[in-house]
Structure 1
Amino acid sequence: MAIPVVYVISDSIGETAEFVAKAAASQFNSGEIEIRRIPYVSDEEHLEQVLSEASEYKAVVAYTLVVPALRQRLAEIAQEKGLIVVDVIGPMLEALGKVSKTTPRLEPGLLHKLDDEYFRKVEAIEFAVKYDDGKDPRGVLYADVVLIGISRTSKTPLCMYLAHKRLKAANIPLVPEVAPPEELFKLPPRKVIGLTIKPEILNPIRQERLKALGLASNADYASMERILHELDYAENIMKKLGCPVIDVSNKAVEETASKILQIYYRGDRNEK
């Protein structure tokens, strides 16, 4: 007795229909069932060739085609050739269309486009964590954007926010006692964005930070003299780099991130 054959036809990769076919085949103990996946069937000529071949094996045809014209043509050919066909995705599209009262986009491969976006986001988040707070300055060479600024200018939360927008963001703290990494000066100015803040706003923020750490709020870290010194130092570094500068005073992370994205995508170097 010939081994049953299943042709899996898709206008994308075809993994979904193949998985369903394998899951069904696993329920039978009457010998092997051969599954042949035919991906990227995007025109009627290719479809007709595949179905003609499938008919020679009296194969079952499982398909995930979202383009209506291809689905209709497959049904016509299958009827002509007496093929058994299984529409893997069609019933779900119809059901979701009814409950959502919307029309599906009918674009092949959307699931994998979404997967790609997801993995790019994960990669960007991992990048932000790895190269946070200047842990490894070599990372700035591989970043889409590098944020620089003194302590408590929202560098880390901004990098994480940008990572969710699929941008690889690194950040470098500017401290007068520590020279900036050489890698920073190798970058084109458009990839570096300076963050600054008004001293009278930063002062209470740093005091609260010290309290959270269980330290005296009058420590040098939160003194106005120290803050002004750090801001002057950072301003000089940013001028040397020639990078755009954003004042984060009283700005939500989302608002600052929006300005960073404008600079990155549009080359808008003027802080507004």
Structure 2
Amino acid sequence: MSEDNQILTLYSLSDSTGQTAETLSKAAIRQFRHAQEIKYVPLPRITRQEQIDKIIKIMEQSRPCMIAYTLSIPALKEYIDQQAALFKIPIVNLLDPLIQTISKQLGITPPRNERGMMHELDEEYFKRIEAVEFAIKLDDGKDPKGMEKADIILVGVSRTSKTPTCMYLAQNYAMKVANNPLVYNVAPPKELFEHKDKCVGLKIRPEVLHDIRTARLQSLGLPAHSSYADFEQIKVEMDYADRIIEELGCPIVDVSHKAVEETATEIMYLRFPKPHSKELK
């Protein structure tokens, strides 16, 4: 904490949804989480000078404070810079330094499309939200009929990171991803075979899965000798899952000791071999 024990307030302004400003601001704030408390105030959809005037008045009463922004409208950027200087409020333009560096390297100036660009950002944002909602709705084998709308369907035994991988693909690529567990002696839904061209099998080494399941039981306060974490039972489950995956004829990703990001990247390459063909621009 600072000597006077005051809390810094960071106002994050955007003329769109504010997702970019929030991501960058919170990444910076996290660097100080053990040293100083910082209050974060998101202010999306700032499109008029009158809104900035009201914000400045509020900030006058909440010092120490600062502004971080991702405004794209030139007139608004100029105005907020002037007001911040006038009232001696620290201010940071989060995007322009990066844009200017790219522009210098390419030798071109980006088009000053004030609202068109933000409309594209809005579209990207809402596609991601829709994909996240889809992943939740079709998590863990729920609503098999919805698989027809999926871009990708993940299959595998329990604890192969199916759900977090679905969420990562939704949040970062706007992919609609369903997942279905392969449970020993439980027939998978017929919809899985109707859409096997969308499937990707997640495999894991038995000893790695044993450690993961044992840790899971311990975290829940349950005995580690449960059949859920029994090594021989795990091998039986995996043999069964292997047969289903072979029947589907789908590509396979080994998730042993892999971060979710690595697994997701490999899945995208397998399903969409052309680099970045489905990644949002």
- Alignment TM class, shorter chain as reference: 0.5 to 0.7
Tell me the equivalent position of 1:106.
112
Unpaired segments of 5 or more residues in structure 1?
A: 1-15, 24-87
Measured in 2, the distance between the counterparts of 1:266 and 1:142 equals 20
Partners of 1:111 and 1:149 in 2: CA distance? 39
- Are 1:225 and 2:209 matched, yes or no? no
The amino acid across from 2:159 in the alignment is R
Q: Name the counterpart of 1:158.
A: 165
The correspondence of residues 1-272 of structure 1 with structure 2, limited to 5 A, is 89-92=73-76, 100-101=96-97, 102=100, 105-107=111-113, 109-164=116-171, 165-189=173-197, 191-266=198-273
Q: 1:230 to 1:92 in 2, by over 3 A?
A: same
* More moved, 193-202 vs 135-144: 135-144
CA 1:104–1:202: 2 relative to 1, 3 Å? same
Cα distance in 2 between the residues matched to 1:218 and 1:267: 46
SS in 2 for 1:266: coil
Distance apart, 1:94 and its partner CA = 5.4
How far apart in 2 are the matches of 1:240 and 1:267? 26
Q: 1:265 to 1:256 in 2, by over 3 A?
A: same
Deviations 1:103-160 (A, max 9, x none): 6542361111000000000000001111100121112111100000000000000000
What amino acid maps onto 1:176 in structure 2?
Y
The percent identity for this pair of structures is 49
Deviation at 1:213? 2.0
Runs of 4+ in structure 1 displaced over 2 angstroms?
A: 19-23, 88-105
What residue in structure 1 maps to residue 24 of structure 2? Answer: none
Cα distance, 1:151–1:188 mapped onto 2, change above 3 Å:
closer
| Number of residue pairs the alignment of both structures matches | 187
Deviation string 1:224-251 (CA, Å, 9 cap, x unpaired) is 1110011100110011110001110111
Q: Which amino acid aligns with 1:91?
A: A
Contact 2:200 2:252 in 1 (8 A): yes
Residue 266 of structure 1 deviates from its aligned partner by 1.1
Q: TM-score, normalised by structure 2?
A: 0.60
Task: Give structure 2 stretches of 5+ with no counterpart.
Answer: 1-44, 52-71, 82-91, 101-108, 276-281
Answer yes or no: is the 8 Å Cα contact 2:48–2:76 preserved in 1.
no
Q: Secondary structure of 2:272's match? A: helix
> 1:260: Cα distance to partner?
0.6
Q: TM-score, normalised by structure 1?
A: 0.62
Shift of 1:252: 0.7
Distance 1:117 1:212 in 2: 37
Is the CA contact (8 Å cut-off) linking 1:93 and 1:104 kept in structure 2?
Answer: no
RMSD of aligned C-alpha atoms? 2.9
| Partner Cα distance (1:131, 1:226) in 2 | 27
Counterpart of 1:257 in structure 2: which amino acid?
Answer: A
- 1:76-122: CA deviation from partner (whole Å, max 9, x where unpaired): xxxxxxxxxxxx94423557999645265423611110000000000
